[in-house]
A = this chain, B = another copy of it.
Amino acid sequence: MNSLTHKLLYFDIPGRGEAIRILLHAAGIGFTDTRFPSADWKTIKPTTPLGSVPVLTINGTDHVQSLALMRYAAKLGGFYPTDDHPLQALVVDEVMETCSELMSKAPRSRDKEELKRLRQEFQENTMTRYSSFMEGIVAKNKEAMGSSLVVGTTVTVADLSVHGLVRTIANGGWDYVDTEFFNKDYPELMAVSKAVDENDKVLAYYASKK
């Protein structure tokens, strides 16, 4: 795989790009990390296959869909269950998709009062339901394997998905959603986020950026 060239195109934020960057680095794959300011999006958008980023260009071919890209990089870096563990891979996939769906479902509005109302309702209903579901998955794995991780005993791309979600909320990324939402009621998801923060390969990625 190392003979392939990789180029990642994304905004200069973590968002849906950071896990791909971390995982490609963890896989030892050198890649061009092209980041652009949001002001440039209008001109870049029509040049992408589906009007979306991230785009990962491999040997000149553009590839899209952030979960597909994350899964690809995760496999190369050892952050995804191998073929002999299809049930673990299923759980990884369902958590990745659940985090992504939750991100997509966060209500948007230009009206501040309406946004406040919609976001609070979202926190009480969808966020609580989705987060409780994932908390249960981690609790079950902890009981079976002794690790506060989505599956097994080593960090997978699903843990990176949870980490991205937890950090987005804690950093106030969603106005009118309680920044303490996970900290208050989801100890297992917090533990997942901590495990990612302390993972050797994740630490090595950030060290490489200094």
Contact = CB atoms under 8 A, between A and B. Distances in A.
A60 B86 CA distance: 17
Given A93-B68, A98-B64, A129 B86 contact: no
A83 B82 contact: yes
B72 A87 contact: yes
A49 interface: yes
Interface in A64-90: 64-65, 67-69, 71-72, 75-76, 82-83, 86-87, 89-90
Contacts of A82: 83
Nearest to A27: B86
Contacts of A98: 50, 64-65
Nearest to A69: B90
Interface residues of A, number: 34
A68 B67 CA distance: 11
A94 B76 contact: no
Given A49-B133, A129-B50, A129-B51, A90 B67 contact: no
B75 A94 contact: no
A133 B75 CA distance: 24
A21 B54 CA distance: 32
Interface string A98-133: 100100000000000000000000000000011001
A89 B50 CA distance: 19
A97 interface: yes
A63 interface: yes
Interface of A: 1, 4, 49-51, 58, 61, 63-65, 67-69, 71-72, 75-76, 82-83, 86-87, 89-91, 93-94, 96-98, 101, 129-130, 133, 140
